[in-house]
Chains A and B, each alone.
Chain A
Amino acid sequence: MTAPDLYVYAILPAGLAADALGTGIDGAPLRLVDVPEGVAAVVHETTSGPYQGPDEDAKRWILEHSAVVERAWDITGTALPMTFNVLVRAGDEGTATETLRGWLRDSAVQLRGRLDALRDRVELRVDITLDRDRAAQDEPEVRALAAELDGKPAGVRRLLTKRLEKLQRDAVDAVADRVYPEYRRRLVGLAEDISEGRRGGRAEGQVPVLSAALLVHRDRVQELGAELARIQDEQPAAQIRFLGPWPPYSFSELRAPGASTA
């Protein structure tokens, strides 16, 4: 029989009882691999390798993975989440558990430092976009062209509509450039770290302004919500998605000692 690999969900401070965590992906029983240095990993044993399958399954697995991370994080107040599909494989030198223990021991100082730094911090996702039609409606050029459209033959209208869309896009892009520095400043003033988005502008007719993950102290979530409400109030064309609070997925990367935050 093959020695089992370990699927890893998160790194935590040691001392938690595994039965508090429930079950993992596909109902897998969870256990904790810990070391005297004070850190532990939440894992389940597997012999079937990394998860692979249709998107629907992958989504379910990812939700189950994140549910374990969130439960652990809710109980311990701090956690370093692993990405999906992280396995510790048994090697020539020992079982997967021994390999993982060795690594936890070697990295304990760094891991504990990061866990402490992230205690009581949450990740919030903020996505601000501008509704193109709404944000552009007051631009004089856009108005003039929109008025011109009326009563034109279909072919001309098609051409003018194209032109109108471009005018709107450029106008709203300029608005976005104007408001971005201020929004960023206001949000980042409440956050300890920020990681700007990889997405944004998904929805048709929406111009992205700012898409970011923010690392915020638990006690300041409300303040951030209030700031977003003010932004919404000042800018009716803004659409704001506000997600979380999550474990600090985007901020768990271990930095090399001495690395700057720049």
Chain B
Amino acid sequence: MAEPASLQPTRDPRVTLPDLVEVLLNKGVYLNLDLIITVADIPLIGVNLRATLAGMETMLEYGMMRQWDEKTRASVRRSIARQVPLLPDEDVVARMPGGVYADDFHHSWRPGTVYLTDRRLFVFRREPAELLWQAPWEHIRTAGLHSERAVGGEQRQRLRVELVDGTYHLLSTADPERLLNLVRRHLRGVGGPPGAGAIAASAAPLRESHAWYQERRAGSAVWRGGTARLDRRTGLTWRSPLDGRPAVNLTPRDITGVELRPARTPAGDSVVMAVATRDDTVLLAPDDATEWAALIRETVPEGAPRHELTEVQVGAHR
């Protein structure tokens, strides 16, 4: 069959205007906010109206800190550190009044300030000073909103934070949705579009967890963070919250084999799964690749070519 003619990109403004407007309002260098905004509101560059109109506190609430330059961050860090014990070089991204539900012998809401930093999410009470609750980002599996009846009888939204150990914790704040967005942005990088896609929510999966996926790009291979999911019926998927749809979507029939291999991922030296299909090999690195691989083998139908389901011995320590 003849090769179709190559598509030519267009720069015609009549076609591209909506995209240009979007990109110039939302993308490009945010140096503006970088240059800017010293705490004493002096040289104000980057007149993103939202930023100019908002006071320092509001900007913190909106989580704008990470867009600021080092000097500004250092000064904010100093001013916050006077009130809150921060780790060395820890940056507060956002803070807002709130509280945490103490599920120990207290069984009550403990008021304080919710801090979102580049390292962790925590609730701190200033007087008397006490760290009421904290979780480093890598311990947080997921977060969502949870509606419950408050003491006064009205419905209140809480932030429900689920940790990798399976426990969950409830945080309160005046604007739970904003907190959720900030938390999600941290769990995922930068907030992605809510998902299209039919795969999203089917019945309970066999397994679902954070996993790294290796994407091969021009000149490099990039490990990307996302969620892997294994389901007897729909198969194996992996999706980054930044993507429109799952970048891995293999039905049990597509899978011809699973191998374990040592590899270096952003999590360090790990064992990763090489999932083979007829024409490709997908590299995925969940925390417990061995168990995942065993489960994937179980889901592959009986008729599948078993002999291809090999496992490479991986040294126990390396």
Name A's B-contacting residues (CB within 8 A): 8, 10-11, 49-50, 52, 58-59, 62-63, 65-66, 80-93, 99-100, 103, 107, 124-125, 170, 173-174, 176-178, 180-181, 184-185, 188-201, 207-211, 213, 216-217, 220-222, 225-226, 228-230, 232-233, 240-246, 249-250, 252-254, 260-262
Contacts and interface: CB of A to CB of B under 8 A. Distances in A.
A211 B244 CA distance: 8
A49 B45 CA distance: 11
Contacts of B35: 88, 99-100, 103
A125 B22 CA distance: 12
B197 A124 contact: no
Interface stretch (B98-106, B143-151, B177-185, B222-230): B222-230
A57 to B, nearest CB: 12
Given A200-B244, A245-B9, A254-B29, A192 B218 contact: yes
A196 B22 contact: no
Contacts of B8: 225, 242
Interface string B1-42: 001111111110101110111111111111110110000001
Nearest to A90: B43
A90 B44 CA distance: 8
Contacts of B305: none
A195 B193 CA distance: 12
B193 A82 contact: no
A81 B44 CA distance: 19
Most chain A Cβ neighbours within 10 Å, of B25, B69, B217, B225 = B217
A192 B6 CA distance: 20
Nearest to A178: B249
A125 B19 contact: yes
A8 B15 CA distance: 26
B34 to A, nearest CB: 7
Nearest to A98: B43
Nearest to B23: A249
A61 B202 CA distance: 47
Contacts of B192: 196
Given A11-B29, A81-B29, A99-B45, A196 B243 contact: yes
A155 B99 CA distance: 54
